[in-house]
């Protein structure tokens, strides 16, 4: 069993209204020196089989076709052995 950890983030330059709001909330709490807050999505996909290269190709296609919108988002992922 393999686990894919997928990160979907807004492209640099796309205004992240949620991130900006969280940044000012953190500053209100007294946290200093925050340059920027960006909010993204984190997906965990469990896959059957042990063939990593195949799994990477499958996850790549999932990201391209559905999980990320290339107009506004970037994605990255790692595939690892499913932990207990």
Partner 1 sequence: MKFGIVVFPGSWSQQDFHHVIVNVLKEDACYLWHKEADLNGADCVILPGGFAHGDYLRTGAIARFSPVMREVARFADKGGLVLGSCNGFQILTEAGLLPGALLRNDCLHYRCRWVHLRVESGHTPFSSAMQRGQVVRMPISHGEGRYYIDQAGWRRLVENDQIVFRYCDEKGALTEEANPNGSLDHVAGVCNERRNVLGLMPHPERAAEPILGSEDGRLIFASILHTLARA
Query: Which positions lie near partner 1, rule CB under 8 A?
Result: 13-15, 17-18, 21, 66-67, 69, 71-72
Q: CB of residue 42 vs partner 1: minimum separation in angstroms?
A: 13
Rounded alpha-carbon distances, angstroms, from residue 35 to 25, 70, 78: 13, 25, 27
Q: CB of residue 71 vs partner 1: minimum separation in angstroms?
A: 4
Put the strands of the sheet holding 73-81 in their side by side order: 41-47, 2-10, 73-81
Ranges assigned E (strand) in 1-84 = 2-10, 41-47, 73-81
Q: CB of residue 44 vs partner 1: minimum separation in angstroms?
A: 14
Of 18 and 76, CB closest to partner 1: 18
């Amino acid at each position: 069993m393999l686990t894919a950890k997928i990160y979907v983030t807004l492209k640099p330059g796309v205004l992240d209204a949620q991130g900006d709001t969280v940044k000012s909330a953190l500053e209100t709490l007294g946290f200093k020196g925050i340059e920027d807050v960006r909010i993204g999505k984190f997906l965990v996909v469990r896959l059957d089989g042990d063939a990593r290269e195949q799994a990477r190709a499958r996850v790549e296609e999932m990201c391209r076709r559905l999980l990320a919108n290339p107009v506004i988002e970037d994605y990255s992922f790692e595939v690892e052995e499913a932990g207990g």
